[in-house]
Structure 1
Amino acid sequence: MATEAKPKLITAEQFMAMDLGEGMHELVRGEIVEVTPPGGWHGFVSANATFVLAKFGRDTGHGYPLSNDTAVLTGRDPDSVRGGDVLYYSNARWPRGQAGPGIPPLAPDLVVEVYSPSDRPGKMWEKIAEYFNAGIPMVWVLYPDRRALRIERADDPVPIVLADRDAVEGLPELPGFRCLVAEFFD
């Protein structure tokens, strides 16, 4: 009876040092997974989310965003490194001046994911569960086709779902933050 060889699992550090060539990749439980690159609309919505969060952070001194599928360490042994569309860090947790190369040493306060046509609900919820297990307290999922925002919290099983005419406000994690959901899509 032949035994199937298990692939050698790699660490987050090895993954980040690799030249994987063209394409986008994540590390999921020690294995490299190719990710379908998002389209232009995804990039537009991600850029808007980055802008809205950057303006809030600058205006209030509260924090700052990182974008462009920044690495998020979501698990160890085996390691997982996901690419969050937009991350937001408060200066109280990880001051802006400490941001540098490599995987950020702390989980962000917020991850924003933009739902793409290639995303599957089960895979998205798996990724959100990884974010929560990594200590990320809040995840926003933006749905461009529905012009909606779903706010998920690690400590609350009931999400908040907002339409484009609704305001995002009153979030204890982002004191003083306010914008219309439509700002992510217009």
Structure 2
Amino acid sequence: MTVITINLNPIIKLTDDQFYQLCRKNPEIKFERNANGELIIMPPTGGETGKYNAGLTADFVIWNRKYKLGEIFDSSTCFKLPNGANRSPDVAWIRKDRWDALTPEQKEKFPPIAPDFVLELMSPSDSLEETQAKMREYMDNQIKLGWLINRKAGQVEIYRQDKPVEILESPQELSGEDALPGFVLDLQIVWE
């Protein structure tokens, strides 16, 4: 399965509320929207990717419950980024003070905030170039730390503000650095 991009802009430019309603009325379809307003239809993940993603998310939830520094979000959460794009990273984390600054209505819909941290776990059908472009978009929107895990290539790309991308070959663990204090991700579940 491949990602499909649809440009409806010559016909209609969806407002944020219209995009939200489109997503609510079509829950079986995962939509994103790029900064140009084009709709991106994402295929569902396969069983293996879903299994790994669930395990990774669980590690973040356990850490967050212990330290209580923010909020963890799964791949179903769509964020309205400052550049206008609506994106759904596989795992996202937002500092508590930043999340608490949002209104209840903003929290309920697609939160208008860039997470502090994002993780993308590539599916076998994902394009590396498109996923790297998504990671660069996250960084352009002031996300502090991003991890792109490419199981097929056995690599992790680490994205940090104002620094070149660091590529690691099959690392056994990743540190949350200053963005995720005290967090260490054991990657053995990913490489098994």
With normalisation by structure 2, the TM-score equals 0.80
Tell me by how many angstroms 1:13 deviates. 2.7
Are positions 1:174 and 2:180 aligned together? Answer: yes
What is the match of residue 89 of structure 1? 94
Larger Rg: 1
SS in 1 for 2:159: strand
Tell me by how many angstroms 1:179 deviates. 3.1
Structure 1 residues 170 and 132, CA gap change in structure 2 (3 angstroms): closer
Q: Distance in 2 between matches of 1:105 and 1:80?
A: 10
Structure 1 residues 55 and 43, CA gap change in structure 2 (3 angstroms): same
Q: Letter of the 2:173 partner, please give it.
A: A
Are positions 1:56 and 2:63 aligned together? Answer: yes
Q: Distance in 2 between matches of 1:170 and 1:85?
A: 16
- Contact 1:10–1:31, Cα closer than 8 Å, also in 2: no
Structure 1 residues 176 and 133, CA gap change in structure 2 (3 angstroms): same
Tell me by how many angstroms 1:32 deviates. 1.8
What is the match of residue 147 of structure 2? 140
The CA deviation string for residues 38-72 of structure 1, in whole angstroms up to 9 with x for no partner, is 11111112111211111111112222311033102
Structure 1 residues 21 and 177, CA gap change in structure 2 (3 angstroms): closer
Are positions 1:23 and 2:29 aligned together? Answer: yes
Are positions 1:9 and 2:8 aligned together? Answer: no
Q: Letter of the 1:20 partner, please give it.
A: N
Tell me by how many angstroms 1:170 deviates. 6.2
Structure 1 residues 134 and 111, CA gap change in structure 2 (3 angstroms): same
- Contact 2:155–2:167, Cα closer than 8 Å, also in 1: no
Q: Distance in 1 between matches of 2:174 and 2:129?
A: 26
Tell me by how many angstroms 1:22 deviates. 3.5
- Contact 2:71–2:99, Cα closer than 8 Å, also in 1: no
Aligned identity (percent) is 27
What is the match of residue 47 of structure 2? 40
Structure 1 residues 173 and 57, CA gap change in structure 2 (3 angstroms): same
Gaps of 5+ in 2: 1-8
Aligned-CA RMSD value: 2.6
Tell me by how many angstroms 1:110 deviates. 0.7
- Contact 1:149–1:181, Cα closer than 8 Å, also in 2: no
Higher helix share: 2
- Contact 2:82–2:112, Cα closer than 8 Å, also in 1: no
Structure 1 residues 110 and 51, CA gap change in structure 2 (3 angstroms): same
Higher strand share: 1
With normalisation by structure 1, the TM-score equals 0.82
In the comparison of the two structures, how many residue pairs are matched?
Answer: 179
